[in-house]
Structure 1
């Protein structure tokens, strides 16, 4: 069952086209990774999904209802955590969590207390004294305590230490086991790799790639490390090999996926001391789309 359907959404701000035909779905029980650098259109898309922005064209449906027209009804079954949580400074963390839970109609005190302990939050302190990480914890505890069908998490681990990131990841996977859906926007690519069933990469307002990690990895290069007793003659002339670096007969290079077999055959003629091959990471894939822009500082 499709819980979220973003159907060829375009959004203009004056003459500037922030989104250009963004199109994806999130199924029931699925964790969907939505990644892209600042200015790519991630936040604009999420605001449109939340009913905060009206698309110029296209449509967004959540639970089969229009995200703009039926936003109030839809939000009863959505939990949203932004990347920079602002809280009431004179309320304690516990009071804010209880307020969020009351607004969502949740009364699961046992689960709330369990998450407060897991995230190591002192709920008696006022929010004005909290660090950024603790403010994120308040929002995450409230979101994970609710029984929302769809969680929209926009850079949710911003400010959390690595131990708390692990707690976060466990909570996301628990939601998946419960059959809930998660739209996860994150710049921590290892986090996306661990959690997401499918990934959509957005660039300059357009979805440039989408699929499972296995679907996307065929577009990228395998990384090889080869150590030998002899020089690899004509390595640079082999089809599909890129970015060769050699240090004392230890060769580092990348291979286009479709040419891996031929490269293995080529290497078999040499006396190898070590051969390592590693599948590309999501970061490798990310860089194939953004590397030039990142180098330019965009």
Structure 2
């Protein structure tokens, strides 16, 4: 089975700024993969490279066993993309946009389309210009999830949705996984990622930091212990791997490295334990620990040499390297969700009526 997304050593520069600095990313078939990092880490730039909206300066990028730059027309019929700020043709109804995008992607499931409209409480008869931000997101999500595609690329897809609709979104992503589809999910809602994702990749300053299941990542980090003891605390502060020890009468709290957990629990047993709570780190704690210490500044990139490849060559003004917001404003983004309508080649003019 092919690996839907395989990125190795990806580099993308904008003038003197290196937005992606040797990034690695692997997404396995049939998994929901979380893609995490703060604003400016390079998430949206990576996604634009995957969509064929930007051309990589160096590295290897494979999407559904194809080249996202050269094979964009073919690949876009096998994937669906939802950005964090969906834009619509103002004169088309939501239902017309959903059906148009479905045809561009090779068809959609009418029954699933109807179920999605009901679940998201979306009126498809209204014109695009009348929708709120949340309802525009619903149009993008319904169009993507109703399409018969193998891969979903979602960049802050629940932006503007209320908590109830976020639960609906989670239900449909779980259903997509059960149907065997692959999902790349970039989100700042860490509880959402924790609930949905099989594996997570954390990036920082355009570089891969860590990848694994939540269980694997937790084993690499500290566990929080909160215990009520039968005797005085003695010897815990001298154990290697014990951190932030706090004692309040007969109650003790501390963090402990995974490798030292067994020794710490044995010491607590020797003292006598009345109650104990062991709490593995949450995804938020795992995420924040990677950003406690400021990283060294990435090396400045030399100005890119001209490739002589005409309108497809990316220059220093192609994109804000730290942009993590709407994607429909990319110079090659021709559709309401940043896609090339009708399989258009890079650089075609935006269709009439697309709101900038």
Q: Give the match for residue 100 of structure 1.
A: 101
Q: CA deviation at 1:248?
A: 4.9
8 Å Cα contact 1:202/1:209 also seen in 2: yes
Q: Give the match for residue 182 of structure 1.
A: 183
Q: CA deviation at 1:90?
A: 3.6
Q: CA deviation at 1:293?
A: 4.6
8 Å Cα contact 2:113/2:146 also seen in 1: yes
8 Å Cα contact 2:34/2:187 also seen in 1: yes
Greater relative CO (CA pairs within 8 A, separation 6+): 2
Q: Give the match for residue 326 of structure 2.
A: none
Q: CA deviation at 1:12?
A: 1.1
Using the alignment, how far apart are the partners of 2:198 and 2:249 within structure 1?
41
8 Å Cα contact 1:59/1:66 also seen in 2: no
Using the alignment, how far apart are the partners of 1:172 and 1:16 within structure 2?
35
8 Å Cα contact 1:198/1:212 also seen in 2: yes
Structure 1 stretch displaced more, 62-71 or 145-154: 62-71
Using the alignment, how far apart are the partners of 2:93 and 2:224 within structure 1?
50
Are 1:70 and 2:98 counterparts? no
Whose strand proportion is higher, 1 or 2?
1
Q: Give the match for residue 212 of structure 1.
A: 213
Q: Give the match for residue 191 of structure 1.
A: 192
Whose helix proportion is higher, 1 or 2?
1
Q: CA deviation at 1:258?
A: 0.4
Are 1:8 and 2:9 counterparts? yes
Q: Give the match for residue 279 of structure 2.
A: 278
Paired residue secondary structure (2:159): coil
Q: Report the CA distance shift for 1:99/1:248 in structure 2 as closer, same or farther (over 3 A).
A: farther
Structure 1 stretch displaced more, 122-131 or 21-30: 122-131
What number of residue pairs does the alignment pair up? Answer: 295
Paired residue secondary structure (1:253): strand
Q: CA deviation at 1:20?
A: 1.2
Using the alignment, how far apart are the partners of 2:292 and 2:176 within structure 1?
34
Given the two structures, how large is their TM-score scaled by the length of structure 1? Answer: 0.92
Using the alignment, how far apart are the partners of 2:142 and 2:120 within structure 1?
8
Structure 2 unaligned residues grouped into runs of 5+:
296-356
What are the within-5 Å matches in structure 2 for residues 105-254 of structure 1? 105-254=106-255
CA-based RMSD: 2.0
Q: CA deviation at 1:186?
A: 1.3
Q: Give the match for residue 304 of structure 2.
A: none
Using the alignment, how far apart are the partners of 2:108 and 2:282 within structure 1?
41
Q: Give the match for residue 59 of structure 1.
A: 60
- Name segments (4+ residues, structure 1) moved above 6 Å: none
Using the alignment, how far apart are the partners of 1:249 and 1:118 within structure 2?
51
Given the two structures, how large is their TM-score scaled by the length of structure 2? Answer: 0.78
Q: CA deviation at 1:234?
A: 4.2
Q: Report the CA distance shift for 1:284/1:107 in structure 2 as closer, same or farther (over 3 A).
A: closer
Using the alignment, how far apart are the partners of 2:121 and 2:248 within structure 1?
46
